[in-house]
Amino acid sequence: MMNMIQRKTRNPEQTRNDLLDAAYHEILESGFQAASLERILANTSVSKGALYHHFGTKRDLGLAVIEEVIGPQLEERWFTMLAQHDNPISGLYNLIAEKISHADESVIRYGCPLNNLIQEMSPLDESFRQGLQKIIERWVEVVAEALKEGQSAGQVRPDSNPEDIALYIVASIEGCVGLGKNAQSINAYQRCLRQLQVYIQSLAV
């Protein structure tokens, strides 16, 4: 009886997570505007009624994907990993090296889910724009704070501006992904990131 009760209390959360995961992959594949709720439901065991119970509209579902999937994904892949390094120069260099070595066809097929939605939805929907901007600002903030700590530790050039550099690094990463996607070239993506590594190394004392 206890297990049955526990399963029932977990079901709504699992349903929501299943919908978010399916919606994320559908948006990645098709973009938000072309994303199909029917395909999302077909890739889950969720009814249409349950979908609208958790998300009143397709727009609500898209905004939740930004906040609950894309944001935490970036947190895990960048913010947490950068915090594990004592030196922000080596930390950023190594994170980018990992992106270069693990680059595959998915990079040039799908690009960056954050950047894709920025390009598609920011001019059309202010709530989307704000949600996406919040993630970008958090990314810039994390990199800038790491660089400031590096300056205090004598690892980063004191004449550099951490906020400006962080903004440039984030823009460069997103630009490299977009360039590789448009060129349909893993090599172009990797070459672009390697030049960013050269710049990052130039920031070292």
Q: What pLDDT, in 10s, does the model give residues 176-199? A: 999 999 999 999 999 999 999 999
How far, in Å, CA of 36 to CA of 34, rounded?
Answer: 6
What would the DSSP string read from start to end of 161-192?
-HHHHHHHHHHHHHHHHHHHHHHT-HHHHHHH
Taken in order of first residue, the domains within the chain and their CATH numbers are 69-201 (1.10.357.10)
Partnered with residue 156 across adjacent β-strands are: 204
> pLDDT digit string (tens) for 126-181?
999 999 999 999 999 999 999 999 999 999 999 999 999 999 999 999 999 999 99
Note the residue count of the chain: 205
Predicted TM-score of the model (pTM): 0.89
